Structure 1
Amino acid sequence: MTKRNLTRQIPSGVSRRSFLAGTGAVAAGLTFSGKGFAAEEKVLNFYNWDTYIGETTLDDFSDATGVSVNMDLFADNDELFAKLKAGNPGYDVIVPTNDYVERMISADMLVKLDHSKIPNIKNVDPAFLNPAFDPGRTYSLPYMWGSIGIGYRKSRVDAVPDSWKVLYDSDKYAGKIALLAAPSTVLQVGCKYLGYPLNESDPAVLEKVADMLIKQKPNIKVFAEDNGQDLLLSGEVDLTMEWNGDILQVMAEDDDISYVVPKEGGLLWEDTLCIPTGAPHPENAHAFINFLLDAKAGAAIADFIQYATPNAAAKALMSDEYRNNPAIFPTDEVIRNSETAIYQGTDYTQLVDRLWTKIGAA
């Protein structure tokens, strides 16, 4: 989910535009709600991770509705939260991750969705319709899901790096490793490596993880702003902590790159579609969310960005190569060993911030 060119060709043997044409994912073939357009200006402001939308999705929506889409990009959930916490500058649809949905609900930063305006909810896999972080999908709908693991260059390692040790607790690849510049995620995965729960909140345990990271800092080339896959592709690092879809995108360009979730397990996440408090175009926002949940539009998005779709109707249109790829859809073993982050309140957030400052200053 980093800042790269959206015209990058990702594997399937056909171009993105060919895929769109082949599935009929053009304005005339999509199912969406047009309610409310007459009452609002024809504009939608979308705040999204980069490389996290189909190649023509925004144009398709505009062609179908006459609503033009402005898309701004954020690098991580902390940036998204801070921008909206200071007051919504005009965004209509945002894409927070599951634990930040909880945090934003608690802070009254999201509005309730009108499900009657999003009939394509019917396309969502029932397994995603009642998550603990948003029971009944009152404030959010699922966009994509996946894992965080290790992307690596096969020719530069002597074995599959199947433990977080190579990033957190080893000088074996000194100067050639990257971790995400994501405080809570890095600390949570460090807890997993040390045998604690991902959502461990004991300050003594988190201090232990922070001390381990401080000791490891000389071996870490960079805490990457979610561009570890680009560093891997360019050869600047040989191993990186990253989102699975980002690594899959560069695997399409270089067959020397691969991805693994370590044996200790990792972090499973779900990104969602939400309408922030103060959205200036709520009707357009509902229509846009409904559009993204269309089967054909959803398939085109998933094919382009190579993340796991929770849209059952979209998944049914995808190739076996996509549906059966364990780097996209984690295996049962990975799911058993992994955990999902939860929002643990302001005291935990302040502790993470303090420890991250300590790590950075060391």
Structure 2
Amino acid sequence: MSKKYVKVSHLALSVGLFTASFSGSALAAGELHLYNWSNYFPPSLLELYEKETGTKVTIDSYASEDDLLAKLQAGGGGYDVIFPGASTLGVMVEKGMLANAGINKMENFNNLLAPFQTIAGDENREYSAPYMWGTTGFTYDPASVPGNSLEESWKEVFEPRAELKGKIAMLNEMIDVWNSAAYYKGIDKCTEDPAEAQQILDLLLAQKPDVKLYSSEGTIDRMIAGEVPLHMQWNGAAHRVKAKKPDVVYVYPKEGTSFWVDNMAIPKDSPNIDEAKAFINWMMRPDIAAEASNYTGYSNAVKGSGEFLKEELKADPAVNTPESYGDRLRAYKACSPKSKDLREKVWTKLKS
């Protein structure tokens, strides 16, 4: 999900633990090509991995999961490790686009927290491992909104107050926008009813004049610079905004807040499958997963990583979801082809 200031915090520890994690000598020099959201992977880990393995790592970025899927479907890229969300992962498994890498048999797989050892579409975790997980809500700057406070509701986004009209920003992500609109309208996000899909479209079209832009990139800088007072945003991005603007508020809307997991997977035509497998195994180490969390501002799924996390990450409710908000979280749900078709038609009409 572009979720995403560099800070090297655990390099010395990471270096010291590296050899044990591979149960053998360092890997032979090779190449590794990553394809990920922009600003969503720590440069410190790229440097560490190159230093310890001799493997040359390059990384390219995409602006949306639609771009990721389209590029791989077209046979482009030559990538070794990609980072799809649950929905895109399911499509890729179904279409035979991924290598069955036996992730569940890797040495570090048992480091994963139990709930993350399976995922819809890859129930046995043969094709994927979790990277980061988080939520989709919205962030606002109290100094720039009426009364310095907004309701914990999607109403503030889809039916903004007069002072905010034309000033809000939305993610440019079909699923996130559709799901949030469905939560607000009280509609099943996997609805197959054209009349309910029309209700969602009507809501989004009515909102569209109030939206300054749809963009999943630059959400952090946009909020820090004060370009918009309210942004539909992923929680890790909100955490990184708070590092510069401590007063901003991340909202878990009461109607429902999407809970998502981004994953690591290997395209079936990866030119460096052995290097890709070694890399994913390495990423499931507690200290390495923590370094990724400290950079991105998102939670990871690896047991024992907590001791390596920055204190401000543990203390931020945008990242460490308060127990009282637990009933607001909505997990990924695999929708039928009919439902997906309705969602895609609504998105096309909205963006046309």
Work out whether the TM-score is over 0.5.
yes
Q: 1:164 aligns with which of 154, 167, 177?
A: 154
| 2:14 match | 25
| 1:13 match | none
| 1:148 match | 136
Cα deviation, residue 268, structure 1? 0.5
| 2:199 match | 208
The residue type equivalent to 2:144 in the other structure is: R
The verdict on how the C-alpha distance between 1:101 and 1:177 changes in structure 2, with shifts beyond 3 A counting, is same
The residue type equivalent to 1:204 in the other structure is: A
Using the TM superposition, name which of 318-327 and 232-241 deviates more: 318-327
How many Å separate the matches in 2 of 1:287 and 1:117? 12
How many Å separate the matches in 2 of 1:208 and 1:283? 48
Cα deviation, residue 154, structure 1? 1.4
Q: 1:176 aligns with which of 156, 167, 178?
A: 167
The residue type equivalent to 1:179 in the other structure is: M
1:104-147 Cα distance to aligned partner (Å, 9 max, x none): 11111111123487311122112211233321211111111010
Do 1:177 and 1:221's aligned partners in 2 also have CA atoms closer than 8 Å? yes
Q: 2:186 aligns with which of 195, 202, 210?
A: 195
1:161-197 Cα distance to aligned partner (Å, 9 max, x none): 4111111123431121111111222111100001123
How many Å separate the matches in 2 of 1:328 and 1:98? 19
How many Å separate the matches in 2 of 1:95 and 1:175? 33
- Superposition pairs for residues 1-362 of structure 1, below 5 Å? 2=2, 8=5, 16-17=7-8, 19-21=9-11, 24-26=13-15, 28-30=16-18, 31-33=20-22, 37-38=27-28, 42-115=30-103, 118-157=106-145, 158=147, 159-172=149-162, 173-361=164-352
Cα deviation, residue 249, structure 1? 0.8
How many Å separate the matches in 1 of 2:258 and 2:132? 14
Using the TM superposition, name which of 343-352 and 209-218 deviates more: 343-352
Do 1:153 and 1:257's aligned partners in 2 also have CA atoms closer than 8 Å? yes
Do 2:120 and 2:334's aligned partners in 1 also have CA atoms closer than 8 Å? no
Cα deviation, residue 156, structure 1? 1.6
**Residue 43 of structure 2 aligns to a residue in which SS?**
coil
Do 1:55 and 1:304's aligned partners in 2 also have CA atoms closer than 8 Å? no
Do 1:146 and 1:328's aligned partners in 2 also have CA atoms closer than 8 Å? yes
Gaps of 5+ in 1: 10-15
How many Å separate the matches in 1 of 2:127 and 2:25? 19
The verdict on how the C-alpha distance between 1:138 and 1:279 changes in structure 2, with shifts beyond 3 A counting, is same
Cα deviation, residue 244, structure 1? 0.7
Do 2:86 and 2:332's aligned partners in 1 also have CA atoms closer than 8 Å? yes
Aligned residues: 347
How many Å separate the matches in 1 of 2:2 and 2:116? 25
How many Å separate the matches in 2 of 1:79 and 1:194? 28
1:44-100 Cα distance to aligned partner (Å, 9 max, x none): 011111221123101111111110101010112111111111115311101000111
Do 2:140 and 2:249's aligned partners in 1 also have CA atoms closer than 8 Å? yes
Cα deviation, residue 345, structure 1? 4.5
The verdict on how the C-alpha distance between 1:116 and 1:96 changes in structure 2, with shifts beyond 3 A counting, is closer
The residue type equivalent to 1:160 in the other structure is: L
The verdict on how the C-alpha distance between 1:36 and 1:111 changes in structure 2, with shifts beyond 3 A counting, is farther
The residue type equivalent to 1:275 in the other structure is: I
**Residue 304 of structure 1 aligns to a residue in which SS?**
helix
Report % sequence identity: 31
The residue type equivalent to 2:316 in the other structure is: N
The verdict on how the C-alpha distance between 1:228 and 1:318 changes in structure 2, with shifts beyond 3 A counting, is closer
**Residue 212 of structure 2 aligns to a residue in which SS?**
strand
Superposition RMSD in Å? 2.2
**Residue 149 of structure 1 aligns to a residue in which SS?**
strand
The residue type equivalent to 2:157 in the other structure is: L
How many Å separate the matches in 1 of 2:241 and 2:295? 12
Cα deviation, residue 243, structure 1? 0.7
**Residue 256 of structure 1 aligns to a residue in which SS?**
coil
How many Å separate the matches in 1 of 2:250 and 2:233? 9
How many Å separate the matches in 1 of 2:33 and 2:283? 15
Do 2:167 and 2:210's aligned partners in 1 also have CA atoms closer than 8 Å? yes
How many Å separate the matches in 2 of 1:137 and 1:36? 26
How many Å separate the matches in 2 of 1:329 and 1:92? 31
The verdict on how the C-alpha distance between 1:98 and 1:348 changes in structure 2, with shifts beyond 3 A counting, is same
Do 1:199 and 1:341's aligned partners in 2 also have CA atoms closer than 8 Å? no
Cα deviation, residue 337, structure 1? 2.0
